[in-house]
Amino acid sequence: MMKIKSLLLFLIIGNVFFKAQTNNIEKNIPEKRTYEELSKEFYKSRIGEGNSKSIANCYLKKAKSEKNTTQIAEGYVMLHFEENLPNALKYLDSLQHITQNSKENTYPARTYLLKGNLYFRNDNLQSALNNYILGLKYAKEKGNKRQIAMAHINIAYLNNYIGKHEETAKVLRHYAYDVDYMNEDEINSLKLNLADAYIEISKMDSAYTLIQEGLQDSKKNRDVYRYHQNLGLLGYYNLHSKNYQKAIDGLLECKKYFFTNNNDRRDQNYTLLYLGKSYAGLQEKEKAVDFFRKIDSMVLKTSYIYPELRDVYTYLIDYYKANSDKEQQLYYVDRFLKVDQVLDNQFRYISRELPRRYDTPELQQEKESITNELTKRKSLFYIVLSLLLISHLLFINVYFKYKKSEKNYKKIAQDLIQSVNENRVGKNAEPETPIEIHSEILPVTNTENSEDKTSRTISEDIAQNILKELEIFENNDQFLNKGITLGSLAKKIKTNSKYLSEIINTYKGKNFATYLNDLRIDYAISRLANDRKFRSYKIPFIAEELGYNNEQAFTLAFKKRTGTPLSIYLKEIENMSSNQG
C-alpha cells in the first residue's frame, strides 16, 4: 500500500513539474509572448548584441501572421537597427510604405528621423541633415512636440559637429531645462552634450558643473557607461584647460573601459585622440605619436572618419618630418590626403569651418617630391628640382589667372551689394532703383512693332489686366512658389497661356522662364544681403525657399543672372558686414 501511495505521489509531483516546465517553455517561445514583452527585451539589450536580431525577426513574424499593420511597422523599426546601411534603408523604406496612410501623428516624421539617425551613424551628415529637416517639417504638421524636439536636438548635434557651438548650446539648454516632455535618459544625454558645447565656447565653469553632476548621478544610479562618458568629457575639459596630467589620468581609465566593455567607435576614437593631444601638450611626443598611430589603425579597420583626424595626421607628418623619416612622412601624407578627400566629399560644409594646416595641392606636390627623392635619391635630385620649379611656375600662372577672375567676381558682387544698400537707404525717399545686373541680357528689338502687333491680337483692356495681375504676382513674391508654369500662372490670373506669353515677351522683354528666373534671383540678391539669418541657411534650403528644385539649378541661375558665383557674393556680404561692424 505504501508503495502505491509513493507511486501516486511521484506521478502527481511529476505531472506538476511537467506542467510547470511546459508553461516555462511556452513562455520562452517568442510567438507566445506579447508585443510588449518582446519589445522590452529587444530594447533592454544593446543593439547588435545577444539575440536582439532574433527577437526582432520573431516580432515581425508574429505581426505579419496576425496582419497587425501597427506592429509590422514596429518590427521594421527594430530590424533596421540590426542591419548595415543598405539593408537598414530597405527596412525603413518598408516602414514608410506601410505607414503612408497611417492616422498616427508620429508618421511620416518618425521615418525621416530614423533615417537621419541612420545616416548620422554612418557618417553621411548631409543626408542626415536633409532627413532631419523633413522630419521636423512633418512633425510640425502633426503637432508632435517630442518629434519636433528630437529633430531640433539632432540638428543641434550636427551644428556642434560643424562648429556652431553657440547655437548648439542654446538648443540643448532649452530642451534640457525648459520643457517637461523629455525623459530622464534624454535629459542626461542633453546635459552631456551641452557640457561638450560649453567647453567649445569656453564656458568652462558651466561645463565643469554639468560634468560633475553627471559623474555623481551616474555613480548613484550605477550607470557605468554614462559614468565613463562623463569621465571622458572631464578629460577633454582638463585638456582644454591645459591640465594635461589630470586629463591623462581620467582618460586612461576611460580607455580601459571603452576598449573592454564597449565597442562604440566614437568613444574609443575620441578617448585616444584626447590622450594623444594631452601627451602632445606635455611634449611627450613619442607617446602622442603612439596614440595617433593607433587611431590611424582604427580608421583603416572601421573607416570612421571625423574632422579632428586632420590634427592627428598633421602631427604625425610634422613628427616624422622633424625626424627625417621620409618613409613614414610619405605614408602619413598619403593617409592625410585620403582622409581629407573623404572629408571634402562627405563633409564639405565641415571642411569650410575648419582651418587646414596643409593645403591639399601643396601636400600633393610634397608627396610627389618625397616619392621621387626616395626612388631616385641624389642621382635624380636636379630632375626633381626642375619638375618642382615647373610645377610651381604652372601653379603661379594658374593662381594669378584665378585671382584675376576672382577679383572681377568680387567687384561684381560688391556692386550688387552696394546697389542693394542704396535701395534700402532710399526706400522711403524715392522709388526703388533697379539692382544693376552684370549678366549679359540680349537686347529687345522692335519693341514698338511688337507692341503694335500685340495690341492687334490682344485688346488693351486685357493686356492691362494681365499686367496688373503680374504686378500683384511680383509684389506678393508669388514667384517663390514651387512648380510655377506658364499654364498654372495663366490659370491663376484667369487668362490663357498664349496671351500671357505674348504679354511677358512684349512688356518684360523676355520669355516666361527667364522672367520667372530673374524675379527669383533678384529677390535672392536683396534678401541675402539684408537677412543675416536667411544667408546662414544651407544652400539647398535657400534654393528650396526660392522655388528651385535643387541647389545646382539655383547656383547656375544666380551666376547666369549676376555674372558672379553665389559663393563669392555670400563671402563679400560677410566681408562688408564685418568691415562695417
Q: For 330-379, what is the HEC assignment?
A: HHHHHHHHHHHHHHHHHCHHHHHHCCCCCCHHHHHHHHHHHHHHHHHHHH
Which residue is it, cell 561645463? 207
10 Å Cβ neighbour count for 245? Answer: 11
Alpha carbons 392 and 389: distance in angstroms, whole number: 5
Longest CA pairwise span in the chain (Å): 128
Instruction: Flag residues of the chain having pLDDT under 50.
Output: 1-28, 47-48, 349-363, 365, 428-434, 439-451, 453-455
- Beta carbons of 35 and 71 less than 8 angstroms apart: yes
- Beta carbons of 74 and 89 less than 8 angstroms apart: no
- For residue 104, the one-letter residue type is E
- Beta carbons of 76 and 92 less than 8 angstroms apart: yes
Helix orientation angle between 109-121 and 85-98, rounded to the nearest 10 degrees: 180
First to last CA, the chain: 108
Give the 3-state secondary structure of residue 48.
Answer: coil
CA angle 486, 487, 488 (to 5 degrees): 95
What is the SS3 assignment for 387-410?
HHHHHHHHHHHHHHHHHHHHHHHH
- Record the cell numbers describing residue 326, joined without a space: 621620409
Which residue is it, cell 532703383? 433
- Beta carbons of 526 and 420 less than 8 angstroms apart: yes
Q: What is the per-residue pLDDT across 441-491, written as a single tens digit (0 to 9) for each?
A: 444 444 444 445 444 568 888 889 999 999 998 899 898 888 899 999 999
- Beta carbons of 307 and 347 less than 8 angstroms apart: yes
Helix orientation angle between 85-98 and 69-80, rounded to the nearest 10 degrees: 160
Residue 381 has a pLDDT of: 63
Residue 6 has a pLDDT of: 42
Length reported for the chain: 581
Residue 307 has a pLDDT of: 80
CA angle 348, 351, 352 (to 5 degrees): 95
Alpha carbons 418 and 535: distance in angstroms, whole number: 17
DSSP string computed for 488-507: HHHHHTTS-HHHHHHHIIII
Which residue is it, cell 519636433? 148
- Record the cell numbers describing residue 79, joined without a space: 530590424
Angstrom CA distances, 254 to 56, 192, 268, 270, 427, stand at 32, 16, 9, 10, 62
Which residue is it, cell 535618459? 185
Alpha carbons 296 and 299: distance in angstroms, whole number: 5
- Beta carbons of 255 and 273 less than 8 angstroms apart: no
